[in-house]
Homo-oligomer: A and B are copies of this chain.
Amino acid sequence: MSEKRLGARSMVFAHAPSVAGTGTVAGKKEGEGPLGGTVDYLNEDTTFGETTWEKSESRMQTEALSRAAVKAGLGVEALELIFAGDLLNQCIGTTFGLRDCERPFFGLYGACSTMAEGLTLCAMAIDGGFAGRAAALVSSHFCSAERQYRMPLEYGGQRTPTAQWTVTGAAAMILSETGPGPYLTHAAVGRIVDAGIKDPANMGAAMAPAAHDTLSGFFADTGMGPADFDLIVTGDLGTLGADLLRDLFARDGVDLGPRYTDCGLLIYDREKQDVHAGGSGCACGALVLCGHILDGLRHGAWNRVLFCGTGALLSPVSSAQGESIPSICHLAAFSR
């Protein structure tokens, strides 16, 4: 086996791809949150000028990708591969968003882990010699997600305290075989973990065991530990899931410490914004990564960051059939 593979699920990139550019778009609520200033384009009415929420989501993908290309000093036509996905049935946020770009495209479904999944595949493609530049792109929209997964907005349903708020936004990251960094140095591919949680309004609890599985596997595969990183973030465990992840590591005798947080806790002000357990959705982790975290890496706030995309692989049908929630976590490690 190659020296690029470490242990059961981890990879080290011999020629670590460099972040060439990121593009981020989001809605009004995200703009009012603590990280609103890191978003490239905020749309006040969250329609993005479209007539349905699904078309708004597609528009966000188009906008995020084109902004990432501009910031990378490229045209979208310079992208050799695009890896993208979203939460909508048949991933129509993505397929309509990329309909006109004429680039080679791999469609992904990893629920809210899709950004980390796509970045891992971009890095494999570049380090493997199959592309010089590749992009990972995801989106989620509160209104399309509510309609599909829960209730039409007009119903005005109550939310339980464990529920999270689906982030309205899209984020793209372009990786390149050469560049000044930050670099994507390692990845770990998730396994499906199902701890038996059946409440779709408590996805943090369902996903925390998957995050624990991937992170602890990555540490075992690489011989590294939490202290080797300045920042460890999960994508969208929310307050309950993040506490559970700390507890799961504490049972192993590992203290994640203050270096650990969750993007669902960073993107909104839970004191002032009515988001219950925090943010969620493909765009939650992706927006925080492509804005706040990359800014911090570039400016020296952190030198090494673990980004752990967490995804709940359920559907309304599986929940209606009494099933529990299979979950997954993909990990991408960045260095300055």
Which residues of chain A have a CB within 8 Å of any CB of chain B? 1-5, 8-9, 11, 52, 54-55, 80-81, 85, 87-92, 95-96, 98-99, 101-111, 117, 120-121, 124-125, 127-132, 189-192, 194, 313-318, 321, 323, 326, 328
Q: A326's contact among B1, B5, B99, by CB below 8 Å, is which?
A: B99
Contact A315 B194 (CB under 8 A): no
Chain B residues with CB under 8 Å of A105's CB are 189-192, 328
Chain B residues with CB under 8 Å of A52's CB are 321
Contact B106 A108 (CB under 8 A): yes
Cα A109 to Cα B315 with chains together (Å): 15
Q: A5-B131, A130-B11, A321-B52 are in contact. Are A314 and B106 (CB under 8 A)?
A: no
Cα A307 to Cα B306 with chains together (Å): 38
CB distance from A276 to the nearest CB of B (A): 22
Looking across the interface, which residue of chain B has its beta carbon closest to that of A86?
B109
Contact B314 A92 (CB under 8 A): yes
Q: A194's contact among B4, B99, B107, B111, by CB below 8 Å, is which?
A: B99
Looking across the interface, which residue of chain B has its beta carbon closest to that of A194?
B99
Contact A89 B89 (CB under 8 A): yes
Chain B residues with CB under 8 Å of A131's CB are 5
A–B Cβ pairs within 8 angstroms, 17 of them = A4-B128, A8-B104, A54-B317, A89-B90, A89-B315, A92-B314, A95-B326, A102-B191, A103-B191, A104-B190, A106-B120, A106-B189, A107-B109, A107-B117, A107-B328, A109-B109, A125-B128
Task: Tell me how many chains of this kind the complex includes.
Answer: 2
Looking across the interface, which residue of chain B has its beta carbon closest to that of A104?
B189
CB distance from A80 to the nearest CB of B (A): 7
Q: A321-B55, A326-B99 are in contact. Are A109 and B91 (CB under 8 A)?
A: yes
Q: A90-B89, A191-B104 are in contact. Are A5 and B129 (CB under 8 A)?
A: yes
- Listed residue (A1, A101, A111) with the most chain B CB atoms within 10 angstroms of its CB: A1
Contact B192 A98 (CB under 8 A): yes
Chain B residues with CB under 8 Å of A328's CB are 105, 107
CB distance from A140 to the nearest CB of B (A): 13
- Listed residue (A98, A107, A189, A315) with the most chain B CB atoms within 10 angstroms of its CB: A107
Chain B residues with CB under 8 Å of A191's CB are 102-105
Cα A130 to Cα B128 with chains together (Å): 8
Cα A120 to Cα B131 with chains together (Å): 14
CB distance from A155 to the nearest CB of B (A): 18
Looking across the interface, which residue of chain B has its beta carbon closest to that of A132?
B1
Chain B residues with CB under 8 Å of A89's CB are 89-90, 315-317
